Chains A and B, each alone.
Chain A
């Protein structure tokens, strides 16, 4: 098996289970959030029920003073319980915001820029849940797309050079055997190739720039301009 750093680090069984739709990190995180809210709410509810059970019995012999004190204490415990539930919900919200909402926002922004042809942006590949993995996959798509674009550029550049050379050798009047159709076809083919190059140029590439037909690193291209 070909080794990559990823398959050296991860347990292949866990990895394949997650890829095949088993319980992934995101499901675990949602489960923990659900359990936290449920346990806190249940805890508060049970504490209040116990408190109610230990209060004065409402059988007509209750001392009004005791009842007022008990109800005041119960009111405060209900407020405290509500505050605890709100704090737990706040913690869960902050966790979900940091681990899911924020990465999703960044991913949406980066993916939007990629869709507009800016392949230089990359989506952060953390957190280490399904969202992070989507980011890695989208980055991989952009890398492959850039590779294809540069390959198209290099191939078309070479083909255009060959067409130019051939066209120069077929100067009208020098070679009576050359059909005018061939010259027209070559010109048309060159125009097609140049259209493809225009399409490639309309993309912003990662760390690469096209300068005078050559593919250079962005730094070298900038140095050339300066």
Chain B
């Protein structure tokens, strides 16, 4: 069954791509945020089952947004989807409490990752 998902990315093109990927697998994208502070506000109002989170964003970055979301809801399911080097940043993502880390040029792998959750 499809999940309700909040996409957080400062790039509108990337949000569109991720949305298409998720919708093709039957997931429901209920919200989109273009920075960390919007993401925290939308998470609280929409209560999605999953969040895809970019890291580098103008304003509040993805790590800080994830920390704030997880401090309010320890069960929040966050997957980082970033262009940054996976080897360097996946560890930090795990420490924060994220469920996964994927590089954007393999963004289709997110469907497999969601199935495994």
Chain A residues within CB distance 8 Å of chain B: 2-5, 8, 122, 139-140, 143-144, 146-148, 150-151, 154-155, 158, 206-208, 214-217, 220
Interface digits, B1-24 against A, CB 8 Å rule (1 contact, 0 not)? Answer: 000000000111110000100000
Residue count of chain B within 8 Å CB distance of chain A: 29
Instruction: Give the distance to chain B from A211, nearest Cβ to Cβ, in Å.
Output: 9
Q: Which of A2, A122, A155 has the most CB of B within 10 A?
A: A2
In angstroms, Cα B7 to Cα A185, docked, is: 41
Q: Which of B29-37, B66-74, B93-101, B109-117 contacts A (4 or more CB under 8 A)?
A: B29-37
Task: List, sorted by A's number, 10 A–B pairs whose CB atoms are closer than 8 Å.
Answer: A8-B45, A140-B12, A143-B12, A144-B11, A146-B11, A147-B104, A154-B105, A155-B105, A214-B88, A216-B84
In angstroms, Cα B61 to Cα A215, docked, is: 16
Chain B residues within CB distance 8 Å of chain A: 10-14, 19, 29-34, 38, 41-42, 45-46, 55-56, 58, 61, 83-85, 87-88, 103-105
Cβ contacts under 8 Å, A155 to chain B: 105
Give the tally of cross-chain contacts (CB within 8 A). Answer: 72
Q: Which of B31, B33, B56 has the most CB of A within 10 A?
A: B56
Cβ contacts under 8 Å, B10 to chain A: 143
4 extra A-B contacts, CB within 8 A, seeds A147-B83, A208-B83: A4-B34, A139-B58, A206-B58, A217-B55
In angstroms, Cα B61 to Cα A216, docked, is: 14
Q: Which of B11, B29, B38, B61 has the most CB of A within 10 A?
A: B11
Instruction: Give the distance to chain A from B96, nearest Cβ to Cβ, in Å.
Output: 15
Cβ contacts under 8 Å, A154 to chain B: 83, 103-105
In angstroms, Cα B39 to Cα A5, docked, is: 9
Our pick among B14, B32, B88 for the contact of A147 (Cβ within 8 Å) is: B14
Q: A2 and B105: CB pair below 8 A?
A: no
Our pick among B19, B41, B83, B87 for the contact of A5 (Cβ within 8 Å) is: B41
Q: Which residue of A lies closest to B28 (CB)?
A: A2
Cβ contacts under 8 Å, B104 to chain A: 147, 150-151, 154
In angstroms, Cα B54 to Cα A217, docked, is: 12
Known: A154-B103, A214-B85. A2 touches B12 (CB 8 A): no
Cβ contacts under 8 Å, B30 to chain A: 2-3
Q: Which residue of B lies closest to A208 (CB)?
A: B56
In angstroms, Cα B34 to Cα A50, docked, is: 60
Instruction: Give the distance to chain B from A155, nearest Cβ to Cβ, in Å.
Output: 5
Cβ contacts under 8 Å, B32 to chain A: 2-4
Instruction: Give the distance to chain B from A204, nearest Cβ to Cβ, in Å.
Output: 14
Cβ contacts under 8 Å, B29 to chain A: 2
